[in-house]
Amino acid sequence: MINLTIPISDEQILSLKVGDQVALSGIMITGRDTAHKYMIENFIENPKPPATEQETYQQLKKLLKGSVIYHCGPVVAGLDTKDYRFVSAGPTTSSREEPYQADVIKHFDVKGVIGKGGMGAKTSNACKKYKACYFHAIGGAAVYLAQSVVKVHDVLKLEFGVPEAMWIIEVKDFPVVVTMDAHGGSLHREIAEASGDVLKKLVGLK
């Protein structure tokens, strides 16, 4: 197991290869479909973010530089008292963020993305170009993963709804596996290619 503390350096990212088991510790942020669309429309496609979003933009720039985005729609206790606590923190299917992820990695200097199911060529190319990794989290283990969230520091855009809001969390030894590295390696691409070959043989095309 490789222990990594967030923020993560380029050198640390480049030392990782597909198949490495990693325990992440430090502060990261959750973000799903609505959050990614919001970042693209307000900050990446717009050279002058709206005045009403400037404070959030500055927070995100600081939070995401060298950090990790977790594709996660958590179940959160303590909403009434704002004494937030993650009850469930399982990964969301990452392919939904494929249209956005490369641009977010580039703009905010993100070093890691956590989710499940992998991502496509656009994100893989961004990982190689901008020195980032895709980390695969355990699907179906949401309550177990929530135990690695030691503190909820804050939440941005709660008006998006609890699952879609951007939760700023501190984790300790959060378990992941590198399935897309900064050298162009992608376990998901390898599996897709191997599966395609098997399918062709089964239907007599190869």
Confidence of residue 187 (pLDDT cuts 50, 70, 90): confident
* CATH code at position 72: 3.20.130.10
The per-residue pLDDT for range 114-164, each reduced to its tens digit, is: 999 999 999 999 999 999 999 999 988 999 999 999 999 999 999 999 999
Domain count, the chain: 1
Q: Find the domain containing 119 and state its range.
A: 2-202
Q: Catalytic residue, from 36, 71, 136, 188: name it.
A: 36
**What's the confidence (pLDDT) of residue 48?**
85
Predicted confidence band at 198 (pLDDT cuts at 50, 70, 90)? very low
As a whole number of angstroms, the distance between CA 30 and CA 58 comes to: 17
- Summarize pLDDT for 87-118 with one digit per residue, the tens: 999 999 999 999 999 999 999 999 999 999 99
pLDDT digits (tens, 9 = 90+) for 14-54: 999 999 999 999 999 999 999 999 999 999 998 788 889 99
**Which of these, 110, 108, 73, 66, lies nearest to 94 by C-alpha position?**
73
Clarify whether 71 is annotated catalytic.
Answer: no
